[in-house]
Structure 1
């Protein structure tokens, strides 16, 4: 009985810490004819509506899909609200949550008998409903809040990394910089991504999303004339976002960028 109580107490403490840490992210919803997109939004300390702020949109991975407006905070959200980060770079941060049955990127994922995945990215065609709503959310946010239009950023991991490439392609004159962690895209779309500076991350031992996808996009972006850098972690698997978020100059790099 004591052990049961002990475990219960631990879970209560964990839940309390989660709520305390991420309670600064306000709950909200974006509604459109495509559905409802839950999202969280963070405003820096002493937010002043008469001043303009940089803004970061972050797209989560497939494992955080749903409608609880909470799971999307699992990876990355704690970094963006670190005191030393938002004190040095006061910015608005927005984290939408993709519905469980949808995907950020317009891609077909085919798995062979050996379990290997083939990602077939569509070069053209309409966005998924989820990405369509993200675009609407971005337009609404940039209109309704005091935003430095030359400091709009986007990034994501895994499914969100794929969504980041596609989002920049669909609204190419919006973002000063973007980061894609263990993502990928159709290399033929690279010429449409050159107005944004890029940092691409991937784990060399990734068994979920092949590292070759990031390597191919890095090459395609360079050939198209984009400002891009690639970081491959030799010992990382799919969880390369842990290493990426630990990069000492990650936030410095991001907030130093201004739209061309």
Structure 2
């Protein structure tokens, strides 16, 4: 029995090491602020070619500076989809602790957590550095600039929405999982960006109303938007999303 357990543990460690081995550690610094990130290149990467770029934003629980934790949710999804089937360059930055991607204020009302968006146009240092990082990659010559995508979960979903209105001429498509944002700014900035919104209808952390309102506003603006709501699912709706086979081909089908 002990030998069997050891074998399973060894296999688990090897698998985890292999997944992280697909990513290279890097960092980007501007104006004295450093943003760590991981980058994954497609299998059989050819430096003479240009590839789609996916910017993946993690949630609040993965903040820090170890440059690993940001892949706690979504690592397998990224490796399994963008290494070979839908080859793309993936960058996964890590937001420092005690701050957010988006400019958002969190509060508790009647024992329920809520968020307020759009209080200021000033970006957080993490968001400002992230926009410079993305521009740097887009201008690197490695990226197909017609196929730049963004997506994230929870706090990363909020960050995705903010990226869309801060960089309105950049993304061909984006996805936001259990997030929220400034509906008017996103609607006004996504005429040329397709958006797929996901949320669990039993989310006790980020109210599902944020995604419902975002869908309504973006749809009313005449922009391309999809909305998937998972019945009975709490905050971890990214599990449902990453187990689906529909998101990646949908992303990949969009160009600017």
Using structure 1 for the length normalisation, give the TM-score: 0.92
1:207 aligned onto 2:204: yes
Deviations 1:55-78 (CA, angstroms, capped at 9, x unpaired): 100000000000000001111121
Please state how far the C-alpha of 1:113 moved relative to its aligned partner: 5.1
Match in the other structure for 2:213 = 216
Q: 1:132 aligns with which of 128, 135, 139?
A: 128
Whole-angstrom CA distance in 1 between matches of 2:157 and 2:68: 19
Deviations 1:101-145 (CA, angstroms, capped at 9, x unpaired): 21001010111352x112100154211111111101101111224
Using structure 2 for the length normalisation, give the TM-score: 0.93
Deviations 1:36-55 (CA, angstroms, capped at 9, x unpaired): 11100001112111111101
After superposition, residues 10-29 of structure 1 pair within 5 angstroms as: 14-29=12-27
Whole-angstrom CA distance in 1 between matches of 2:206 and 2:221: 24
Please state how far the C-alpha of 1:27 moved relative to its aligned partner: 0.3
1:227 aligned onto 2:209: no
Match in the other structure for 1:162 = 158
Match in the other structure for 1:90 = 87
Match in the other structure for 2:61 = 63
Task: List 4+ stretches of structure 1 deviating above 6 A.
Answer: 5-12
Change (3 A) 1:231 1:94: same
Change (3 A) 1:146 1:122: same
Q: Contact between 1:60 and 1:97, CA under 8 Å: does it hold in 2? A: yes
Ranges in structure 1 where 5+ consecutive residues have no aligned partner: none
Whole-angstrom CA distance in 1 between matches of 2:157 and 2:30: 24
Ranges in structure 2 where 5+ consecutive residues have no aligned partner: none
Whole-angstrom CA distance in 2 between matches of 1:11 and 1:33: 44
